[in-house]
Amino acid sequence: MFKLINLFPLLIIALFLCNCSKDLSPINDNPKKQIRALTQNETQLVESGKKFGLKLFKNIVEEQPDSNIFISPLSVSMALGMTLNGADGETYTAMQQTLEFDGLTNQQINEAYQSLIDLLINLDEKVLFEIANSIWYRNTFNVKQDFLKTNQKYFDAEISALDFNDPASVDIINNWVNEKTNKKIKEIIDNIDPNEIMFLINAIYFKGTWQYEFDKENTEDDVFNLTGSGTVDCKMMKIRGRFDYYEDDDVQIIDLPYGDGDFSMTIFLPKPGMDINEFAANLDESRWQNYLTYLKSDSGTLELPKFKLEYKLKMNDVLKALGMSIAFDPQQADFTRMNPYGGIWINRVLHKTFVQVDEEGTEAAAVTVVAIFIKSIGGDEEFYMTVNRPFLFVIREHHSETILFIGKMIQPEWE
């Protein structure tokens, strides 16, 4: 199985991948349209996203050295960004630091996400890029309205209360995911634990046509070399033209634009003898930025295999390793800005992606779910109480523990 180098910064996420075929004109023929400058907070959010995305990818590569990997740092950070609005104390600090949001207030983070989402989805009319957020909570769970309203305002999150005991709730949530990913990710959960009380979900869908498409007539049967030894058959696309390109002793890099060029796929091909996992481990934010600076317009030929990949990962361990352990700890997690009584924590973070790269362009989708757990919702069996015999009742004040009234009812009367 070959490995993908999906090392994209948060802003453009995993929305650039590969392709090849046909002669091109210089890619700077069309005048560049004017795009508003990023605000200071947006710029810092994007920089934070690069750091988080690259270290997230690096950690996953270390855990899965022999696997194809495809993640969306933007989707993960956005789902956790919504969750951050419910965190407090040390839990908030740990999540903020893991997401590289140091220096930004909670309000600044929310405002930057809001304006950045609007910028991204309207950036290139030739590229379809959609972002959707939602929060689904157990209809018996007391959620702070400020938490819901904040995520509704800044993340445009759809809010729904569901009866999680009804098996149909799983289908309702999965149908939302299926719709928002244009049917590329059909489900993200297969069950709801009796103690799960909330799902915070981000869904992203991308469809971009190459600025210069590969000619299908130039696609041929070929082989792809595996790590170590061995090969697999592939469909190799081919294109000759002028692209942003860089090469040194370690790597070849090419940038393939989509649409008007506001989105692109950046491909990193380590030289023979250079270990792909080692290269990924060394690709930090500084090196990433340097590589982008080195890219210059150049003429040449690209051969690129067509591919399709579905990837899924439970992210608990990787997020713990990056510094968020407290958010998963039943004893220490503090999400009192989500529910005033506490006793809730992150139970699981699920991530699922899809990508297809062919002669026309790239189609990609991602979903991230943050599932919130509570200590107890009445145990495995729900109680059932029928007050149909004599009973006592007390009216009391909790702060001073004063009993205001106490009574016994043996025969209730009504007029």
- Residue-wise pLDDT tens digits, 47-71: 999 999 999 999 999 999 888 998 9
DSSP H or E segment with residue 4 = none
Structure confidence at residue 123 as a pLDDT band (50, 70, 90): confident
- Is the Cβ–Cβ distance between 184 and 203 less than 8 Å? no
Within a 13 Å sphere around the CA of 347, how many CA atoms are in the beta-carbon half? 17
Mean pLDDT, the chain, integer: 85
Looking at the DSSP bridge assignments, the partners of residue 242 are: 299
Q: What is the pTM of this model?
A: 0.84
Q: Give me Rg for the CA atoms of the chain.
A: 25
Distance CA 349, CA 219 (A): 39
- Residue-wise pLDDT tens digits, 207-231: 999 999 999 999 999 989 888 778 8
pLDDT computed for residue 226 by the predictor: 84
- Residue-wise pLDDT tens digits, 18-43: 333 334 443 444 556 678 888 999 99
Distance CA 181, CA 205 (A): 5
Residue 183 neighbours by CB distance under 10 Å: 12
Task: Of 311, 369, 399, 342, give the one whose Cα is nearest residue 6.
Answer: 311
pLDDT computed for residue 388 by the predictor: 62
SS3 content of the chain, % helix, strand, coil (to 5): 30, 30, 40
Structure confidence at residue 392 as a pLDDT band (50, 70, 90): low
- Residue-wise pLDDT tens digits, 135-186: 999 999 989 999 999 999 999 999 999 999 999 999 999 999 999 999 999 9
Q: What percent of the chain has pLDDT over 90?
A: 65
Domains of the chain: 1-387 (3.30.497.10)
- Is the Cβ–Cβ distance between 170 and 193 less than 8 Å? no
CA distances from 188 to 62, 173, 182, 295, 328 (A): 24, 8, 14, 38, 20
Q: Where are the alpha helices (DSSP H) in 64-155?
A: 73-84, 89-98, 106-121, 145-154
Structure confidence at residue 382 as a pLDDT band (50, 70, 90): very low
Q: Which two structure tokens, joined as six digits, stand for 74?
A: 């933007």
Looking at the DSSP bridge assignments, the partners of residue 268 are: 253
